Amino acid sequence: MDDPQSRPLPEHPIEELAPQTYCQRAALELAALVRHQRKPRHRTRRESALLRRCVEQVLGSGEPAPPAGPWQAGARPLKRPGRGGLQYIPIVTRGKTTIMLSTQREAEELATFLNYCGTQELGG
């Protein structure tokens, strides 16, 4: 009988996914994030490690980033300091779709990622 723990490991690490696969996976997570931000339950924040991983994989893959596109990083001013003392909420927008993020860097990276993927505006 084969002991699963005694099997040799593959010589090559598991192959990384193609950038378009990350784009497709991120689209599902992005839809859930936008839905939560539009109709939040309680006062919980939805952080998406999966979306962040997809962005990191595509931007770190050496693929050329689009020069500009319809998704833009920006900021929504606050009346008083928010999380981390910020005077604004970092956002990414396209048309009527707005996505709120934790940092300006995350907003800029997400905008680049969404432009690279050719993500359309998310309906509401």
**Does the pLDDT at position 84 exceed 70?**
yes
List the structure tokens of 118. Answer: 């050719």
**Residue type at 79 in one-letter notation:** K
Is-contact 93 110, C-beta < 8 A?
no
Give residue 43's pLDDT band: very low, low, confident or very high (50, 70, 90).
low
Angle at CA 122, nearest 5°, toward 109 and 29?
60
If you write DSSP's letter for every residue of the chain in order, what string do you get? ---GGGSPPPSSPPPPPPHHHHHHHHHHHHHHHHHHHHS--TT-----HHHHHHHHHHHTTTPPPPS--S-EEEEEE-SS--GGG-SEEEEEEETTEEEE-SSHHHHHHHHHHHHHHTPPPPP-
Task: Please give the mean pLDDT across all residues of the chain.
Answer: 81
Of the pLDDT bands very low, low, confident and very high (cuts 50, 70, 90), residue 106 is very high
**What residue segments make up the domains of the chain, in order of their start?**
17-117
Residue 8, pLDDT score: 57
pTM of the model: 0.78
